């Protein structure tokens, strides 16, 4: 099991940028693929993006393509989510999650056994 801690959330104006970090401990992160999900109160958690262990394969939800970029630095045991051109509808609690199927870029929650606590992103109009 790997422990995950998200950081970097905050309040930003529409059109602005934030970079979220997902720091891992307990296990080397290069043994895992990582996904980012987000959730708004009263709605189901939704897939945002994922990256395989090497960073060579990524997947993005349609609503973030061209605006968000996922990357990783395995030497720092950290995965990043660069979010540009933020919109009010991007406001949510953002979670990172890890799976030991490290070549995968999964989209479903149940495919990720390990989760962080989340970091809040609020985009004002």
Tens of each residue's pLDDT in the chain, 125 residues: 899 999 999 999 999 999 999 999 999 999 999 999 999 999 999 999 999 999 999 999 999 999 999 999 999 999 999 999 999 999 999 999 999 999 999 999 999 999 999 999 999 99
Q: Can you read off the two tokens belonging to residue 25?
A: 């401990």
Phi, psi of 62 (to 5 degrees): -55, -35
pLDDT at 5: 98
3 state DSSP class of 100? coil
Contact residues for 36 (Cβ-Cβ < 8 A; gap 6+)? 20, 22, 48, 49, 50, 70, 79, 81, 94, 95, 96, 97
pLDDT at 1: 87
């Amino acid at each position: 099991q790997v422990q995950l801690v998200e950081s970097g959330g905050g309040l930003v104006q529409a059109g602005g940028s934030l970079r979220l970090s997902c720091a891992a401990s307990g296990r080397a992160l290069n043994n895992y693929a990582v996904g980012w999900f987000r959730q708004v109160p009263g709605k189901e958690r939704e897939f945002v993006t994922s990256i395989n262990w090497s960073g060579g394969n990524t997947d993005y939800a349609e609503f973030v393509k061209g605006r968000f970029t996922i990357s990783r630095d395995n030497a720092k045991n950290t995965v990043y989510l660069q979010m540009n051109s933020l919109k009010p509808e991007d406001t949510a609690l953002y979670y990172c999650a890890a799976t030991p199927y490290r070549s995968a870029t999964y989209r479903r929650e149940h495919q990720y056994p390990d989760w962080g606590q989340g970091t809040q992103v609020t985009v004002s109009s």
